[in-house]
């Protein structure tokens, strides 16, 4: 009898461990697409439906990135009527190992916001852009086997910021915790999700909590992130530091079927055109778009600053219309590169910058 009980315990343990494997939550094949509707939330977390926009992500490739094997996801956002025609605007990086899901934290998506904060001149000795750039790294955001409601620290960094005549000690702390699993209804049906709470806290050296930003994420098997909600809030407790009350908008991100699965509209240009790659500078993936007014044999190549051929992206007959190709630079060093389009008698070259 004892042997049977022991065997049952072992089987339950093995079953639970297998169920917690983070790789089982990420799509197995490249080409997988996510389609989201994003609704901004006001400071009371009420939806601002008239400001809604859409987001599309695509699992593009697997490559080494900053010391890990990364699942590289391209992402873009825009209005419903034209999002399918937009080029991808940024890259997201995920990695799984055992019972842990990693994400690479970078500031590309919020760089403009950080620059605007610096331009306000709130501090004398502190650059928000430099500070958050220094935090760029892989972090184990999603610990699938972590005990429920047990916080774990991802980032903790202390600094001193001069505000007016005051030298204020600050602690920036980013933590995560796994919440109880939850089944949610989506446009793809009911999904049994792992649920995580990610929190940014700004404290005065852990004595006074000045600001907390919450981000709740739902992760479903084979689908990864299917829902992500950041509440809005009104901040009025920083007046002692000379900061006027302000509102922080939130976001409600959910899967949608509003973006219909039809072929992109074909736009025929009257001229040959080669567009600037986006994003630029980039790391490690960028998108190059071009248009041809008639069916042509097209060659699109990448060259380094010395004129050496670094990659061939297109070398085939193409139909008339607008085309785009994604270029992964995982094997190249930082620097200036050139991309050259040749189609019929048309030739054009443009410059792009790879930053590691």
Looking at the domain assignment, is residue 264 inside a domain?
A: no
Supply φ then ψ for residue 45, to 5 degrees: 65, 25
Pair 267, 85: CB distance under 8 Å? yes
Looking at the domain assignment, is residue 263 inside a domain?
A: no
Pair 98, 106: CB distance under 8 Å? no
Looking at the domain assignment, is residue 260 inside a domain?
A: no
- For residue 356, what pLDDT band results from cuts at 50, 70 and 90? low
Pair 99, 145: CB distance under 8 Å? yes
Kindly state whether residues 7 and 139 are assigned to the same domain: yes
- For residue 109, what pLDDT band results from cuts at 50, 70 and 90? low
Looking at the domain assignment, is residue 267 inside a domain?
A: no
Kindly state whether residues 290 and 244 are assigned to the same domain: no
pLDDT tens sequence across 117-161: 677 666 677 787 888 888 899 999 999 999 999 999 999 988 888
pLDDT tens sequence across 220-229: 999 999 999 9
Task: Supply the pLDDT for residue 207.
Answer: 63
Q: CATH number of the domain that 331 lies in? A: 2.60.40.3080
pLDDT higher than 60, residue 261: no
Kindly state whether residues 115 and 232 are assigned to the same domain: yes
Kindly state whether residues 178 and 232 are assigned to the same domain: yes
Task: Supply the pLDDT for residue 266.
Answer: 46
Kindly state whether residues 278 and 245 are assigned to the same domain: no
Instruction: State the average pLDDT over residues 236-243.
Output: 68
Between CA 164 and CA 2 the distance in angstroms is 71
Task: Supply the pLDDT for residue 244.
Answer: 75
Looking at the domain assignment, is residue 261 inside a domain?
A: no
Tell me, yes or no, if the pTM score tops 0.85: no
Kindly state whether residues 139 and 280 are assigned to the same domain: no
Q: Hey, how many other C-beta atoms are within 10 angstroms of the C-beta on 146?
A: 19
- For residue 6, what pLDDT band results from cuts at 50, 70 and 90? very low
Q: Which domain holds residue 140?
A: 2-255
Looking at the domain assignment, is residue 50 inside a domain?
A: yes
Which two structure tokens, joined as six digits, stand for 89? 């605007």
Instruction: State the average pLDDT over residues 279-308.
Output: 87
Answer with the residue of higher pLDDT: 123 or 86.
86
pLDDT higher than 80, residue 239: no
Answer with the residue of higher pLDDT: 11 or 78.
78
Task: Supply the pLDDT for residue 262.
Answer: 43
Kindly state whether residues 116 and 29 are assigned to the same domain: yes
Answer with the residue of higher pLDDT: 341 or 246.
341
Kindly state whether residues 248 and 277 are assigned to the same domain: no
Kindly state whether residues 186 and 299 are assigned to the same domain: no
- For residue 9, what pLDDT band results from cuts at 50, 70 and 90? very low
Coil, helix or strand at residue 113? helix
Mean pLDDT of the chain: 84
Kindly state whether residues 248 and 280 are assigned to the same domain: no
Task: Supply the pLDDT for residue 14.
Answer: 33
For 2-11, 18-27, 183-192, 329-338, which range has the lowest pLDDT when averaged over its residues?
Answer: 2-11
- For residue 240, what pLDDT band results from cuts at 50, 70 and 90? low
Of the residues 255, 287, 308, which one is the last residue of a structural domain? 255
Pair 299, 311: CB distance under 8 Å? no
The number of folded domains in the chain is 2
What is the percent of the chain where pLDDT is above 90? 44
Task: Supply the pLDDT for residue 175.
Answer: 96
For 24-38, 171-185, 199-213, 283-297, which range has the lowest pLDDT when averaged over its residues?
Answer: 199-213
Q: CATH number of the domain that 77 lies in? A: 2.40.360
Task: Supply the pLDDT for residue 277.
Answer: 85
Instruction: State the average pLDDT over residues 297-326.
Output: 91
Kindly state whether residues 242 and 187 are assigned to the same domain: yes
Instruction: State the average pLDDT over residues 216-238.
Output: 91
């Amino acid at each position: 009898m004892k042997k049977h009980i022991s065997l049952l315990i072992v089987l339950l343990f093995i079953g639970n461990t297998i169920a917690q494997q983070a790789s089982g939550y990420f799509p197995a094949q490249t080409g997988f697409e996510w389609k989201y509707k994003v609704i901004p939330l006001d400071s009371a977390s009420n939806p601002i439906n008239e400001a809604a926009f859409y987001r599309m992500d695509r699992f593009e490739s697997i490559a080494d990135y900053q010391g890990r094997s990364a699942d590289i996801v391209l992402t873009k956002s825009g209005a419903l009527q034209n999002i399918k025609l937009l080029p991808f605007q940024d890259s997201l990086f995920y990695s799984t190992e055992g019972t842990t899901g990693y994400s690479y934290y970078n500031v590309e998506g919020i760089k403009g916001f950080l620059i605007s904060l610096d331009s306000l001149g709130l501090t004398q000795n502190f650059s928000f852009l430099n500070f958050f750039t220094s935090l760029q790294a892989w972090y184990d955001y999603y610990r699938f086997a972590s005990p429920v409601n047990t916080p774990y620290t991802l980032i903790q960094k202390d600094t001193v910021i001069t505000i007016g005549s005051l030298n204020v000690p600050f602690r920036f702390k980013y933590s995560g915790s796994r919440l109880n699993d939850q089944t949610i209804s989506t446009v793809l049906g009911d999904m049994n999700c792992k649920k995580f709470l990610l929190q940014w806290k700004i404290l005065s050296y852990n004595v006074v909590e000045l600001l907390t930003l919450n981000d709740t994420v739902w992760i479903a098997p084979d689908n990864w992130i299917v829902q992500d909600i950041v509440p809005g809030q009104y901040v009025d407790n920083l007046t002692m530091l000379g900061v006027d009350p302000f509102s922080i908008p939130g976001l409600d991100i959910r899967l949608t079927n509003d973006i219909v699965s039809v072929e992109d509209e074909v736009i025929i240009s009257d001229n040959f055109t080669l567009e600037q790659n986006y994003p630029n500078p980039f790391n490690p993936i960028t998108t190059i778009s071009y248009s041809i007014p008639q069916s042509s044999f097209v060659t699109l190549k990448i060259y380094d600053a010395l004129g050496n051929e670094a990659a061939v992206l297109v070398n085939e007959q193409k139909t008339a219309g607008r085309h785009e190709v994604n270029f992964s630079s995982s094997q190249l060093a930082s620097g200036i590169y050139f991309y050259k389009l040749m189609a019929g008698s048309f030739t054009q070259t443009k410059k792009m910058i790879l930053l590691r």
